[in-house]
Amino acid sequence: MDSYKSSLSKNASPTIYERAKALRKNMTKAEKILWQKIRDGKLSGLKFRRQHPIHLYILDFYCHEQKLGIELDGQYHNNPDVAEKDANRTYELEELGIQIIRFTNDEVINNTNLVVEKIKTFCI
C-alpha cells in the first residue's frame, strides 16, 4: 500500500496534504462545475481526484490511471510571473510522468461540454 500511495502522490509532504484538504473545502465555481462532470467515473469510467497532492504541488484534478493532471486557471494566471511559475510547474510534473492540460475558469463556466470533450479526447 505504501508504494501505491507513494506512486499516487510522488511523496508529497504532510503539509501539502493539509493544504489540499483545505482547498477541497473551498472550490472555485469552475472547479465545482467541472467536478460534477468528471466525478464518480462519469467521464469514460475514469477516477478523478480533486485537489490532489503530487510531489510539491496540488493539482486541481488528477487521474492516476491516465497520469493526467487538469489545471483550471483564473485571471491571476495571466500575470507574467505566475505564467512562468505555471510553466515551470508543468515541466516538473511532466518530468514525473504526468501530463498537464489547462483550461481557463471562463472556458469551464461558459463551455463546459467542450472542456469535457477535450478531456475525454485526451484520455482516449
Sort strands 99-104 and 68-73 into parallel, antiparallel or unpaired: parallel
Contact 73, 105 (CB under 8 A): yes
Instruction: Map out the domains of the chain as residue ranges.
Output: 2-123
CA–CA dist 3, 35 (Å, integer): 27
> CA triplet 55, 57, 61: central angle to 5 degrees?
105
pLDDT at 48: 97
pLDDT at 109: 97
Provide the pLDDT confidence category of residue 11 given band limits of 50, 70 and 90: confident
Burial class, 47, CB count within 10 angstroms (exposed 0-12 / middle 13-18 / buried 19+): middle
pTM: 0.89
Q: What are phi and psi of 60, to 5 degrees?
A: -55, -45
* pLDDT digits 0-9 by tens, 73-104: 886 656 777 788 989 999 999 999 999 999 99
Architecture of the domain whose range is 2-123: 3-Layer(aba) Sandwich (3.40)
CA–CA dist 36, 46 (Å, integer): 13
* pLDDT digits 0-9 by tens, 33-71: 999 999 999 999 999 999 999 999 999 999 999 999 999
